Amino acid sequence: MRLTFLLLFLVLNSSTLFGQQKYDLLLKRGHVIDPKSKISERRDIAISGGKIVAVEKSIDASTAVKVVDVSGLYVTPGLVDIHVHVYAGTGMKAYTGDLSVYPDGFSFRSCVTTMADAGSSGWHNFEDFKQRVIDRAKSRVFAFVNIVGQGMGGGAVEQDVNDMNAQRAAEIAKKYPGVVVGIKTAHFAKPGWEAVDRAIEAGQLANVPVMVDFGEFHPERPHQDLILKKMRPGDIYTHTYLSRVPMLDETGRVRSYLFEGKKRGVIFDVGHGAGSFVFRYAVPAMKQGFSPDSISTDLHVGSMNTGMKDMTNVMSKFLNLGMPLDDVILKSTWNPAREIRRETYGHLSVGAPADVAVLRIDKGDFGFVDVEKARFQGNQRLGCEMTLLDGNVVYDLNGRSTELWDKK
């Protein structure tokens, strides 16, 4: 009997007795913010086999092959940016080319692990985009397919109603369900509803959400009708704080139909970009309780070098506008993951892919610029310290996961 108990003890405790750690990586003493699990406190996170395997108040360091001390930092799900343009490499002077950026150069250094291209490609050239960029990227890249077959080719290309084919767009979405997360319409300048109607038709055929960049605004197609009549619950209106939208009434109040749209289930996404975010709307809207459902960048060559800069900078703007940090993280992780129906990501639940962001908050005097070159002065800024994708450290600003040179 004693021998049996001894053997059982050895089996249950073999990892400790023989020095075989059961975790690949342990993040110690960080403040974990995981909105899905409603965690916002100091926790340790253990990772093994590319998955989150434990989230506890204290985990023994001896059980891990590598331990990273993240004291004083915030540990969150990897950031999910659902509005980027990454269809680079075609040579075209458009978002289907030179105005886009390759994802890996702009994802991990901003703690972004998951991106969704917002309609750079259409049903005609999506497969080229997939082969050229998505399949080669280390970043996790999904895509909205543009209702225009040639995608965001600029100028007359995006106004060609004859190239807006709901059936063909839906076919691509159904052919690549692992990659395509929705349909996109953007930049439409004509007075009719063709672009919106056909995008929504495609969304219905493929059972995916539609993202709308409303383009030019005309009396024949009022913005209010878009929000209250055209868009379905779960559809995403991007560029929430765009200057061309009459967001405020004559008294400076947020127009009531926008709140009604939220109640209908229309999703309001930031989509900052180089032309779609102004403080003169964002500041009063936030004070009046009209906040975005998701934070996104509209990353492209123009926006990254102007007021937008990167994901953590856009998040910092909302932090300084009074949005609590936990909500900033919610709207940069779990909310966007749900909006594109990819609930596998955007959280730190046990069993989830170990996509992790380690963030710091710097205190000081910081200026934040909008698309009209107007500055908002703030006192805190988020920065990316470390990024993990599937449990692998893919960005480490200060080398926290490495050994000192004279200790190796």
Kindly tell me if the per-residue pLDDT of 6 is higher than 50: no
The first and second tokens of residue 364, run together, are: 């000081």
Q: How does pLDDT run across 225-271, given as a tens digit for each residue?
A: 999 999 999 999 999 999 988 899 999 999 999 999 999 999 999 99
Closest among 101, 94, 91 to 141, alpha carbons compared = 101
Kindly tell me if the per-residue pLDDT of 16 is higher than 60: no
Can you tell me the distance from the alpha carbon of 135 to that of 86, in angstroms, rounded to the nearest whole number? 12
Task: State whether residue 108 is helix, strand or coil.
Answer: helix
Q: How does pLDDT run across 90-111, given as a tens digit for each residue?
A: 999 999 999 999 999 999 999 9
Q: How does pLDDT run across 17-72, given as a tens digit for each residue?
A: 445 689 999 999 999 999 999 999 999 999 999 999 999 999 999 999 999 999 99
pLDDT mean over 145-170? 97
Pairing of strands 39-48, 51-56: antiparallel
pLDDT mean over 375-398? 98
Query: How confident is the model at residue 8, as a pLDDT?
Result: 45
Q: Are the beta carbons of 293 and 335 closer than 8 angstroms?
A: yes
∠ CA 362-291-243, rounded to 5°? 95
Domain ranges of the chain: 79-339
Structure confidence at residue 113 as a pLDDT band (50, 70, 90): very high
Supply the Cα-derived Rg of the chain in whole angstroms.
23
Closest among 114, 146, 138 to 294, alpha carbons compared = 114
E strand residue ranges, 179-316: 180-185, 210-212, 236-237, 267-268
Helix or strand run (H / E) with residue 256: helix 256-264
Min mean pLDDT across 10-14, 131-135, 140-144 is at 10-14
Alpha helices, DSSP H, located in 100-231:
126-132, 166-175, 194-206, 223-225
Q: Which residues contact 355 (CB under 8 A, 6 or more apart)?
A: 77, 78, 113, 114, 140, 345, 388, 389, 390
Percentage with pLDDT > 90 across the chain: 92
Structure confidence at residue 342 as a pLDDT band (50, 70, 90): very high
CATH topology of domain 79-339: TIM Barrel (3.20.20)
Percentage with pLDDT > 70 across the chain: 95
Kindly tell me if the per-residue pLDDT of 278 is higher than 90: yes
Helix or strand run (H / E) with residue 261: helix 256-264
Query: Counting beta carbons within 10 angstroms of the beta carbon of residue 376, is it exposed (0 to 12), middle (13 to 18) or buried (19 or more)?
Result: middle
Query: How confident is the model at residue 15, as a pLDDT?
Result: 46
Q: Are the beta carbons of 108 and 65 closer than 8 angstroms?
A: no
Looking at residue 367, the DSSP 8-state letter turns out to be: E
Q: How many H helices and E strands in the chain?
A: 12, 15
